[in-house]
Structure 1
Amino acid sequence: MEKWRAFRNSPRYEDAKGGVVKKGKNLLMTILQIILIVGISYVILSPVIGIVAQSFFSDADSANPMVYTIPIEGTLERYTTVITQMDYFRTLSNTLIYTVALTLIQVLICSMVGYGFARFDFPLKKLLFGCVVLMIVIPNHTIMLPQYMTFRSMGLMSEATPMYILTLFGTGLRAGLFIYIFNQFFRGLPKEIEEAAFVDGAGTWYTYFRIMLVNAMPAVITVTVFSLVWQYTDSFYSQLFRIPTDMLLAKRLSTLQNNISANLKIMNVRIQRLYVDAGVVLTILPLLILYLLLQRRFIEGVERSGIVG
C-alpha cells in the first residue's frame, strides 16, 4: 500500500496516466474515423451496388421480396438485350470520339487562357478574369435561351457543331473552372523557369508548349479527367442543341426505358428498371476504367492544382 501511495505521488504516475489518456483519445478518434468512413462509403456506394446487383436479377428475383442484393437466379440477359437496344459499341465509339475531341480542345484553349491571365498584363485583365469567375458561378440555364437562339439562327441545331464552337472560344462546358485551375497552377510556378528559357533564346510559344505546359502536367491531367467525365455525361447541352442520340451514350440511356417498352413490349415498370440498371452499368463502365487507369495521377493532380472542398 505504501508503495502504491508513493507511486501515485511520483512523476511516473502522472506520465503513465497521461499516456493512458492519450492512447484512449487516439483509440476513440480512430474508431470515430472508421465509423465516419464506413458511413459515408455506405451512403455513396449503396445505390451503385444496388444498381449493379439488380442488373443481374431475373424476373423471378425481381418479384421475390426475399431477394435484395444478391440474385438467386442471376442472368446476363439484361446486358445482351441492352447492348442491342442501345447499339452499344457503335454509340460508345461515337461518344468517345466526341468527348475526346472536345476534351483535347478544351485542355489546349483553357490552358492558354489560364497561362495568359497568370503571366501577362493587358488592359481590362481584372475585369476579364472576373468574367471567368462569373462563368463558374452563373448557372448554364440562365444563358441557355440566347445560346439556343444564336445557334438556331445559324442553322447548327441537331448536330455537335455548337459544342465545338463554344469549346474553341473557351466558353464550353465548365470552361470557367478549367481556366481558373490552370491560372492558379501557372501562378504557382516560378517565373525563373520562363526567364531562363527567354535568356536561351526561346520564344513565348516555345516556352509555353515545351516548358510551361510540361510542368503543368498535374493540372492537365486533372482538367482532362474532369472534362472527359463531364462531356461524357452531359445532358444539358446535348438536349439544348438536340445532338443526335447515336453520338452520346447518355442520351441513349435516357431513351432506353421507352425503347424497352416499345420494342420488347415489356410493360412491367419493375422489369423495365432492370434493363435500365444494366444500361447504367454499361454507361459508367468506361468512366470506371478511366479512373482506375489514372487514379494515382489524378489524385496527385488534384493535390498539386490546389483544388479544395
Structure 2
Amino acid sequence: MSGVQAGAPIAAKGKRLLNEKLRNKYFKLFFVNRLFWAIMRYLLLIGLAFLILYPLLVKLSNSFMSAQDLIDGTVRFVPRQATWFNYETVFKHTSFLKSLSNTFLISFMSGALQMLVCTMVGYGLARFNFKGKGIVFTLVVLTILIPPQTYMISLYMKFSFFDIFGLMSAISGGSIRLMDSMWPMAILSIIGFGFKNGLYILIMRQYFKGIPKELEEAAYVDGSGLFRTFARIILPISFSMMITIFIFSFAWQWTDSFYSSMFFSQLKLLSSSLLMGFEGLMLEGNTLGLKPGQPLTATLTNTMSLLIITPLIILYLFAQKYLVEGIEHSGIVG
C-alpha cells in the first residue's frame, strides 16, 4: 500500500508535466499560426499597394525628367537632371486651367444635385409604401444594369432639340439647344437619371432601411411633420453617407469621358483635354522639338494625367473619415 501511495504523487506530477508540455506546444503552434497569417496578410497588402502605387510613382518620376534623362538607359526612377519643363509645357500649351475650372463646376454641381436627389429618393423607397413602388425600384435597378451607350443617341437628340411636351415650340416657335452648357447634366441629376444615379439611390435606400423607425415615430408623436422630421433627424444622421455619395459622384464626373464628349463638344474639360490637348502641341513640334512617338510626348501625357488626379487625391485626404464611415454604413462591403 505504501508503494501505491508513493506512486500516486509521481503519477499526478507526471500528468501535470505532460499537460503543461501539451499546453506549451499548443500555444507555440497557435502563435506560429497567427504569425504566419499575419505575415501573409501584410505581404498581400504590400503587394496590392505596390500594384496601385507603382504606376503613379513612375509617372511622378517621369514628369520631372528632362529629355536627356528619358533617352538615357541608365536612368530609371530618379531623374539625373530634374526639371519643371513638363509641367510648364502643360500649362503653356494646353487650356488646363480653363478645363480645370469647368470640370470643377460641372462635377460640384452634379455631385451636390445627385446627393440631394438620391437621398430623397432613397428615403422614399426605404420608408414609404405607395402604388408603383416596385416599378420605380425596378427602373432604378435597370439604370444600373443597362449601359448608357444604348440610349446615347436619344439623350443627344433630346438635348440638341430640347422641348417639354411641345411647350417650348408653342412659346418660342422652336426647340432649344442645350448642348455645351451645364443644363444637360443638371437636368439628368435632378430627374435621377445622371451618371451612376441608380447606384447612389440603391446605396441610400439600403442605408435608410438600417435606421430604426422608432426615431421617426417618436418625432411624429411629438408633433413633427414629415419634412421637418426628414430635415431635423434623418439628414443629420445621414451626413457621412451623403458625403460618400457626393465624393463618388464628384470623382466619377471628374474623370467622365462619355457624357462629357456627348454634351460638351466646345466646352473644355479635363477629360477631353487629356485626349485632345496635345494635338495642338504636336502641330507645334518644330517649336518644341516634339514628334509623335517620342518619349517626351508620353511623358507630357503622364504629367497632365497626374495634374488631373491630384485634386481627387486632395479631396480624399480631407474627406477620408466620412468616406470610410459611409462605406461601412452603406452595406456595400462585407
Aligned to 1:299: 324
Q: Contact (CA 8 Å) 1:260, 1:272: kept in 2 or not?
A: no
Correspondence for 1:135 among 123, 137, 143: 143
1:244-266 Cα shifts (integer Å, max 9, x gaps)? 342x2222122133122123442
Q: Are 2:263 and 1:241 aligned?
A: yes
Q: Are 2:249 and 1:227 aligned?
A: yes
Aligned to 2:160: 152
Q: Contact (CA 8 Å) 1:55, 1:274: kept in 2 or not?
A: yes
Aligned to 2:112: 104
- Secondary structure class of the residue paired with 2:282: helix
TM-score, normalised relative to structure 1: 0.93
Distance in 1, Cα, partners of 2:68 & 2:156: 47
Aligned to 2:41: 33
For 1:36, the aligned partner's letter is L
Distance in 1, Cα, partners of 2:222 & 2:91: 57
Q: Contact (CA 8 Å) 2:260, 2:271: kept in 1 or not?
A: no
What number of residue pairs does the alignment pair up? 305
Correspondence for 1:66 among 67, 70, 74: 74
1:85 Cα deviation (Å)? 2.3
C-alpha RMSD of matched pairs (Å): 2.0
For 2:251, the aligned partner's letter is V
Distance in 1, Cα, partners of 2:39 & 2:259: 45
1:15-63 Cα shifts (integer Å, max 9, x gaps)? 0110111111111111111211111111111111111111111000110
1:237 Cα deviation (Å)? 0.4
1:59-116 Cα shifts (integer Å, max 9, x gaps)? 0011011212111111111101111223333332222122111111111111111111
For 1:262, the aligned partner's letter is L
Aligned to 2:301: 276
1:179-238 Cα shifts (integer Å, max 9, x gaps)? 011111111111121122222222211211222111111210110110110111110001
Aligned to 1:251: 272
1:243 Cα deviation (Å)? 4.4
Q: Contact (CA 8 Å) 1:160, 1:243: kept in 2 or not?
A: no
For 2:277, the aligned partner's letter is L
Distance in 2, Cα, partners of 1:206 & 1:74: 59
What is the aligned-residue identity percentage? 37
Distance in 2, Cα, partners of 1:188 & 1:243: 43
For 1:81, the aligned partner's letter is T
- Secondary structure class of the residue paired with 1:10: helix
Distance in 2, Cα, partners of 1:153 & 1:89: 31
TM-score, normalised relative to structure 2: 0.86
Unaligned runs of 5+ in 1: 1-5
Q: Contact (CA 8 Å) 1:58, 1:75: kept in 2 or not?
A: yes
Aligned to 2:59: 51
Q: Contact (CA 8 Å) 1:115, 1:186: kept in 2 or not?
A: yes
Q: Are 2:192 and 1:170 aligned?
A: yes
Q: Contact (CA 8 Å) 1:110, 1:182: kept in 2 or not?
A: yes
Larger Rg: 2
For 2:245, the aligned partner's letter is V
